[in-house]
Structures are given as C-alpha cells and as structure tokens.
Amino acid sequence: MERKCLECGEPLVGRSDKKFCCDMCRNAWHNKIYRNNNAFMTQINNKLAQNRRILEKYYETGETKVSRVLLEEERFDFFYFTSFERNSSGKITYHCYEYSYSPVNSYNFIILRN
C-alpha cells in the first residue's frame, strides 16, 4: 500500500512509520490539530461563561427563583455546566463555576452561590 504524507498527500519514501514528507508538513499538520482543539475549547468556555453571566445576573438582583423560559430567553444553554451532583433523594444540582442551579419543578430553577 502506498503511504502518503498526512498533510500534503505526497507519496512517502523511506521508513515505514513515516507520516510526513518533511518537517514543514509535520508542523503544519500539528498546528492545525492544535488550532482546532483550541477552537473547540474556546467555544465551550464561551458557553460556560455565558451561562455563568446569566446566573450571576439573576443572583445579584436577588431573583434567585427563575423560570426555564426566562433562562432560555437569556440564551442559557442547559447542555453546559461544570459539574453536577445528585443527592440521596435524587434531586440534581448543576454547578456552573461558583453558581448552582437546581430545578424546583418542570418550569422553575433556584439559583445559589457556593
């Protein structure tokens, strides 16, 4: 089987474990991977930061009981949190950095600060 450079697709000659035709291609390929990983992390960090900002906003104004609809209107993304815990009665508390939120029913959440 002909082996090809992972970066430019040129046929490879020499050692069988060779993946790149030259150092330039190796660096270019690794830089691309690194950049993609960074972009992915940045995207998630931004989501978490946005969620935290929303929790902070309502916590600071003393409105610690908020509706799911309100959070959604604020573009809160329920898919992202930093951790969660379930107590012995099965109640889940989600954490977003120093803020926490837990559902009191299907429509409302309570926001807490740790």
**Contacts with Zn ion: how many residues (CB under 5 A)?**
6
> What is the C-alpha separation between 8 and 96, in angstroms, rounded?
42
| Closer residue to Zn ion (CB): 28 or 48 | 28
Among 7, 55, 76, 101, binds Zn ion (CB under 5 A): 7
Residue 19, C-beta contacts closer than 8 angstroms, at least 6 positions apart: 5, 6, 12, 26
- 1 or 39, CB closer to Zn ion? 1
Q: Is 6 in the site for Zn ion (CB under 5 A)?
A: no
User: Helix or strand or coil: residue 11?
Assistant: strand
Is residue 5 a contact point for Zn ion (CB under 5 A)?
yes
Q: How far is CA 108 from CA 32, 79, 95, 105, in A?
A: 43, 17, 16, 6
Is 8 a binding residue for Zn ion by CB under 5 A? The answer is yes
- Chain residues that interact with Zn ion, rule: CB under 5 A: 5, 7-8, 10, 21, 25
